[in-house]
C-alpha cells in the first residue's frame, strides 16, 4: 500500500479530523497519552479484520488506556531503556575521566557512545520493530510476546524484513507534517515577542495531532505489508496457535 491509499482510507471517515484532534489533546499529558496509544491499537485491530474505516469512536476508556500502556511499553523497551543504560555508562565514563584528569578521553568516549546510539536508534526505527511489536500484540493478544525479542526477530526475519523495510520507506512522508509543526513550535517558543508563548500550547496540540495522524497512516501501510506477507506465504504464525 502506498501513502496515498492510506490517506484515502483515513479520510473516508468524515469525522477523522475531529477524532485526531481529540487524540492529540489526550497526547499532551502523561495520563492521557495511553488513551491515544490504545486508540491506535484498536485501529490496527479493526484494519486487520477488514474494516479500517470509520475510525473508532472515543469510548471504553479503561480498556483503551490499558492497551495504550502496553503499546508505549513496547517503545520504552526498544528505545528508551537502552538510552537509560547508555546514560549510566556515559556518567561512569565522565566520572572516571574527571577522577583521572583526562577530559580528552571522556570527550572521545562520549562521542563514540553518542554515535553508536544514533546508529542504534536509526536501525531500530528503520527495522520497524516497534510497529511489528504492535502487530504481534494485536494478533496474539499477548503483551509479553510483543515486548520480547520476538518483535525484533520478526522484523528481521528472512523474506519479511524486505517487506517491512519497504513499508517503513513508504511511511516516512507521513511524519513530515508533524516534523514541520514541531519545528515551527520550537521557533515560536524561542521568539521574544510579548504574548507569543500563548500560541505554543496550540502548536504543541497540533504537532501531537499530526503525529497521531501519521501513526494512523503508518497503521494502514503496515497492515497492508502484513497482508503482502500472507500473500507470499510468509505470514507469521501466532505464538498462541
Kindly list the averaged pLDDT for each block of 10 residues, start to end, along the chain of length 241.
Answer: 92 95 92 93 94 90 89 90 85 75 75 88 93 93 87 93 96 96 93 81 96 96 95 76 49
Quote the CA–CA distance of 65 and 40 in Å, as a whole number: 11
Quote the CA–CA distance of 224 and 8 in Å, as a whole number: 14
Alpha helices (H) in the chain, listed in sequence order: 3-11, 16-27, 33-48, 61-75, 81-100, 103-127, 129-140, 143-146, 150-155, 160-171, 176-189, 200-231
Largest CA distance in the chain: 64
For residue 237, the model assigns a pLDDT of: 65
Amino acid at each position: 500500500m502506498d501513502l496515498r491509499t492510506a490517506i484515502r482510507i483515513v479520510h473516508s471517515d468524515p469525522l477523522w479530523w475531529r477524532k485526531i484532534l481529540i487524540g492529540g489533546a489526550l497526547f499532551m499529558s502523561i495520563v492521557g497519552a495511553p488513551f491515544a496509544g490504545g486508540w491506535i491499537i484498536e485501529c490496527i485491530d479493526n484494519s486487520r479484520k477488514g474494516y479500517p474505516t470509520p475510525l473508532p469512536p472515543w469510548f471504553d476508556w479503561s480498556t483503551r488506556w490499558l492497551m495504550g500502556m502496553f503499546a508505549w511499553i513496547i517503545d520504552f523497551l526498544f528505545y528508551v531503556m537502552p538510552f537509560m543504560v547508555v546514560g549510566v555508562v556515559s556518567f561512569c565514563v565522565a566520572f572516571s575521566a574527571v577522577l583521572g584528569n583526562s577530559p580528552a578521553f571522556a570527550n572521545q568516549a562520549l562521542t563514540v557512545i553518542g554515535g553508536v546510539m544514533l546508529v542504534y536508534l536509526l536501525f531500530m526505527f528503520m527495522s520497524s520493530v516497534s510497529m511489528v511489536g504492535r502487530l504481534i500484540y494485536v494478533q496474539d493478544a499477548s503483551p509479553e510476546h510483543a515486548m520480547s525479542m520476538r518483535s525484533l526477530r520478526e522484523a528481521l526475519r528472512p523474506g519479511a524484513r524486505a517487506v517491512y523495510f519497504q513499508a517503513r520507506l513508504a511511511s516516512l512522508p507521513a511524519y513530515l507534517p508533524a516534523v514541520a509543526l514541531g519545528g515551527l513550535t520550537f521557533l515560536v517558543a524561542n521568539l521574544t515577542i510579548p504574548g507569543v508563548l500563548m500560541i505554543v500550547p496550540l502548536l504543541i496540540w497540533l504537532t501531537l495531532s499530526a503525529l497521531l495522524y501519521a501513526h494512523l497512516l503508518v497503521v494502514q501501510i503496515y497492515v497492508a505489508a502484513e497482508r503482502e506477507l500472507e500473500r507470499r506465504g510468509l505470514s507469521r504464525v501466532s505464538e498462541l496457535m
